């Protein structure tokens, strides 16, 4: 590879890494051509950018990235190396783990996500179980909605109870009115007056 070609490859890697929030470095060593192609296809389906790179060029590209010090990952850059860039934090780990159900490889070398470094294949399960941003947002929304839904439900029940009480109110008030009017109907002050006037007429 000429010097100019190396410069181009380094720039290509830098473009991949620029503003990347999820960076995995894996080993595809041990996979044959067909298996490697299958792994690439699965990566593409899961919106994971994958590029097999030379360790020295990867390190040089990472050294030129501003804002992130990738030096903690450099000791893992040995043998066959593939860079995996994703939007979802656990997507590359799940892909590696799922692929390994059939094959011995790929293996995780190191990873950088959520401003934390993970070095070694022993971190694969931990990374696979990390909740993605979408999953975390979904859980937060669920937690926020839960008390609101309970409040709305309580208010609706209160309104229903109030409405039922208002409908029953006229029937309850009708009883005292009947009782109040009853004596007025029974009082007939004109009857005694009529009896008293009868003799005067004679």
Asked whether residue 202 is domain-assigned, the answer is no
Mean pLDDT, contiguous 10-residue spans, the chain (202 residues): 89 91 92 91 94 94 92 94 93 91 85 92 91 62 71 72 58 48 48 47 44
Is the same domain home to 39 and 78? yes
Is the same domain home to 121 and 143? no
Is the same domain home to 97 and 166? no
* Cβ(59)–Cβ(53) below 8 Å: no
CA 93 – CA 26 distance, rounded (Å): 10
| pLDDT at res. 161 | 64
Note the Cα 184 to chain centre separation in Å.
72
* Cβ(29)–Cβ(80) below 8 Å: yes
Asked whether residue 201 is domain-assigned, the answer is no
Is the same domain home to 121 and 172? no
Ramachandran class of 111: left when φ > 0, alpha when ψ lies in -120 to 50, beta otherwise: beta
Domain around 170: 137-196
| pLDDT at res. 196 | 45
Asked whether residue 143 is domain-assigned, the answer is yes
Count of the separate structural domains present in the chain: 2
Is the same domain home to 8 and 73? yes
DSSP-assigned letter for residue 104: S
Asked whether residue 54 is domain-assigned, the answer is yes
Is the same domain home to 146 and 125? no
- Domain with residue 34: its CATH number is 3.30.70.1730
| pLDDT at res. 162 | 64
| pTM of this prediction exceeds 0.85 | no
DSSP-assigned letter for residue 54: -
């Amino acid at each position: 590879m000429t010097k100019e070609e190396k410069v181009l490859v380094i720039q290509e890697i830098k473009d991949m890494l620029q503003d990347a929030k999820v960076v995995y470095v894996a080993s595809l060593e041990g996979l044959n051509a067909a298996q490697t192609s299958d792994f690439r296809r699965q990566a593409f389906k899961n919106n994971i950018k994958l590029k097999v790179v030379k360790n020295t060029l990867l390190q040089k590209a990472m050294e030129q990235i501003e804002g992130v010090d990738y030096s903690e990952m450099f000791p893992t850059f040995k043998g066959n190396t593939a860079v995996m860039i994703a939007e979802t934090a656990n997507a590359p780990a799940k892909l590696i783990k799922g692929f390994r159900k059939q094959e011995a490889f790929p293996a995780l070398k190191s990873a950088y996500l959520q401003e934390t470094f993970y070095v070694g294949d022993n971190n694969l399960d931990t990374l696979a179980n990390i909740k993605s941003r979408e999953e975390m947002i979904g859980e937060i929304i669920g937690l926020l909605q839960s008390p609101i839904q309970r409040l709305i439900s309580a208010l609706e029940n209160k309104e229903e109870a109030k409405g039922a009480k208002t409908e029953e109110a006229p029937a309850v008030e009708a009883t005292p009115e009947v009782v109040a009017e009853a004596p007025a109907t029974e009082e007939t002050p004109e009857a005694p007056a009529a009896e008293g006037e009868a003799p005067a007429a004679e």
